[in-house]
């Protein structure tokens, strides 16, 4: 039995293509010209053909030696091309429509006069990029076996891969444990919404969106995109309240008529022959059926004083701007006898709201609490996340960086303290020296004040005056008084400099 390229239920061949599309990678390429036909077959349809062949006693290898298991495409439609398959998968999963086309690699040079030997068959691991490249290079036109063309054959994927691309993508997500994580986060200004949303987006590999309170239709379009359908989103609701989330996640739906009710009589025309206007259709307001309603809701809680201090520390704006934003949040979520953000999700969406107080919590603590809340229900999704060992190593690395930074900061502070201590010791030493000099001066002065006038003159004045008179007698100046005065001044200055 021969089958086309298998797909469905997480089959391995197209794994790399689905994975790159799910992660939003931009490495998709179509090998020019891209019009080669690739036969495909869903694994369940192949299994059903195998079951029919196995249980059909009328079939024998002599009369029916082989069977072809490929998709049944609409009449007059060939097998899907390489370009159609790549654009179909990528467009369904992440919405990309434009994919670049590359030229095929040139053939190996052939020596003149030698025949080129066929390339040896190579077996690639299923799901590897090489296996995908080999499958994308096929160019075959195959017709399914007559058993599959029979009316009684129960097709699982009637019409082929591209016609049922959404079902196939959902099968792949289910088999690979890829779960759309939809979470909305709201809170007062400067409560840490932006940081928490970024951390959740990075951890769960989901898009980060900002609710546009002035254009909720634009936000709804974003939530309805292919990326959000398969991966989910983290929506920063900002200062939104009940009215904003109700307009975003609820829609009016027409109430179908009661089949058991009696049909109303036909309207009768009035005197002028005009029929009355038809009665307006009855509608009801309920949650959107487009798959955009979040499964998790987080409401940050913080006192106004803390938010104000964080707002001003981050220099996000003036105090008047903070008061305006805080007033908006208070009027939408903290007013009495008025529905708020938490009431909508608890009463209408029927999901529990995680009230997260931020006082005394670091950014890591806030994220860890949110992660545990999101994983407490259905567990941790696969979603190509980091393994537990990688997460643990990353946390240990961050802790080591914090410890090193703290140690370096402590060392710098210690050096500053040591330098300040040395400076203080030098200042204290100079101060003590000044006090000693002042004390010695005060002692000498008190001693002088205790001397009598005769004793003071005999000890400090007569010796210098005697020496001056002796020198004046030897010099014999013209003005003896001026000479003696200059002598005494110079002698006093000399003694002062020596002391």
Q: What confidence tens digit (pLDDT) does each residue in 311-336 have?
A: 999 888 899 999 999 999 999 999 88
Q: What is the per-residue pLDDT across 61-71, written as a single tens digit (0 to 9) for each?
A: 777 778 889 99
Give yes or no for residue 120 having a pLDDT over 60: no
Cβ neighbors of 432 (< 8 A, separation 6 or more) are none
- Would you place residue 122 in the very low, low, confident or very high pLDDT band (cuts 50, 70, 90)? low
CB atoms within 10 A of CB 416: 10
Distances from the Cα of 156 to the Cαs of 9, 45, 145, 174, 353, in angstroms? 12, 6, 16, 17, 40
CB 297 within 8 A of CB 373: no
Rounded to an integer, what distance in angstroms lies between the CA atom of residue 407 and that of residue 397?
A: 15
Superfamily (CATH H level) for 2-101+125-175: NAD(P)-binding Rossmann-like Domain (3.40.50.720)
Q: What is the third-level CATH fold of 181-256+281-385?
A: Rossmann fold (3.40.50)
pTM to 2 decimal places: 0.73
Give yes or no for residue 115 having a pLDDT over 80: no
Average pLDDT on 38-50 reads 92
**pLDDT at residue number 75:** 64
Average pLDDT on 227-252 reads 94
Q: What is the per-residue pLDDT across 20-32, written as a single tens digit (0 to 9) for each?
A: 999 988 888 898 8
- Would you place residue 266 in the very low, low, confident or very high pLDDT band (cuts 50, 70, 90)? confident
CB 200 within 8 A of CB 215: no
Rounded to an integer, what distance in angstroms lies between the CA atom of residue 8 and that of residue 169?
A: 8
Are both 2-101+125-175 and 451-499 of the same fold? no
The 3-state DSSP class for residue 345 equals helix
Distances from the Cα of 399 to the Cαs of 140, 223, 381, 403, in angstroms? 57, 36, 26, 6
Q: What is the mean pLDDT of the chain?
A: 86
Q: What is the per-residue pLDDT across 64-96, written as a single tens digit (0 to 9) for each?
A: 778 889 998 876 667 889 999 999 999 999 988
Rounded to an integer, what distance in angstroms lies between the CA atom of residue 209 and that of residue 197?
A: 9
| Domain residue extents for the chain | 2-101+125-175, 181-256+281-385, 389-450, 451-499
Domain 451-499 has CATH 1.20.120.1200: no
Rounded to an integer, what distance in angstroms lies between the CA atom of residue 28 and that of residue 86?
A: 8
CB 96 within 8 A of CB 225: no
Residue 133's φ and ψ, nearest 5 degrees, are -60, -40
| Residue 168 burial (C-beta neighbours within 10 Å; 0-12, 13-18, 19+) | buried
Average pLDDT on 127-131 reads 78
Q: What is the per-residue pLDDT across 180-201, written as a single tens digit (0 to 9) for each?
A: 999 999 999 999 999 999 999 9
């Amino acid at each position: 039995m021969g089958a086309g390229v298998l797909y469905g239920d997480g089959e391995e061949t197209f794994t790399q293509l689905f994975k790159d599309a799910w992660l939003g990678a931009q490495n998709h390429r179509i090998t020019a010209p891209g019009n080669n036909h690739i036969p495909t077959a869903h694994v369940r349809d192949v299994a059903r053909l195998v079951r029919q062949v196995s249980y059909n006693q009328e079939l024998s290898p002599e009369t029916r030696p082989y069977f072809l298991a490929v998709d049944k495409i609409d009449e007059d439609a060939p097998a899907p091309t390489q370009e159609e398959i790549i654009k179909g998968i990528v467009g369904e999963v992440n919405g990309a429509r434009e994919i670049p086309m590359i030229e095929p690699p040139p053939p190996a040079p052939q020596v003149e006069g030698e025949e080129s030997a066929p390339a040896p068959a190579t077996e690639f691991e299923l799901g590897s990029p090489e296996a995908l490249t080999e499958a994308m290079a096929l160019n075959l036109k195959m017709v399914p076996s007559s058993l599959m063309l029979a009316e009684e054959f129960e097709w699982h994927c009637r019409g082929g891969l591209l016609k049922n691309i959404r079902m196939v993508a959902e099968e792949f997500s289910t088999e690979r444990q890829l779960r759309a994580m939809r979470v909305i986060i709201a809170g007062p200004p400067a409560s840490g919404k932006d940081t928490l949303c970024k951390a959740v987006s990075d951890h769960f590999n989901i898009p980060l969106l900002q609710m546009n309170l002035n254009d909720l239709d634009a936000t709804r379009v974003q939530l309805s995109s292919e990326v959000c359908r398969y991966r989910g989103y983290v929506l920063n609701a900002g200062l939104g309240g009940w009215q904003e989330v109700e307009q975003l996640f609820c829609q009016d739906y027409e109430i179908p008529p009661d089949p058991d009710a009696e049909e109303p009589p036909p309207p009768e025309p009035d005197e002028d022959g005009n029929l009355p206007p038809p009665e307006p259709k009855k509608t009801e307001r309920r949650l959107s059926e487009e798959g955009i309603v979040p499964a998790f809701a987080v409401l940050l809680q913080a006192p106004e004083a803390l938010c104000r201090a964080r707002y001003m520390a981050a220099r996000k704006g003036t105090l008047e701007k903070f008061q305006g934003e805080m007033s908006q949040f208070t009027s939408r979520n903290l007013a009495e006898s008025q529905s708020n953000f938490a009431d909508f999700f608890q009463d209408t969406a029927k999901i529990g709201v995680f009230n997260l107080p931020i006082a005394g919590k670091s950014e890591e603590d806030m994220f860890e609490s949110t992660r545990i809340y999101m994983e407490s229900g259905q567990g941790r999704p696969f979603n190509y996340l980091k393994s537990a060992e990688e997460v643990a190593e990353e946390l240990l690395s961050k802790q080591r960086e914090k410890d090193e930074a703290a140690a370096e900061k402590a060392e710098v502070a210690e050096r500053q303290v040591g330098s300040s201590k040395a400076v203080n010791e030098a200042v204290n030493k100079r101060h003590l020296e000044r006090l000693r000099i002042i004390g010695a001066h005060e002692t000498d002065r008190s001693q002088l004040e205790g001397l009598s006038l005769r004793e003071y003159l005999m000890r400090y004045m007569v010796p210098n005056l005697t020496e001056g008179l002796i020198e004046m007698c030897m010099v014999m100046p013209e003005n003896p008084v001026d000479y003696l005065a200059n002598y005494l001044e110079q002698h006093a200055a000399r003694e002062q400099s020596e002391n």
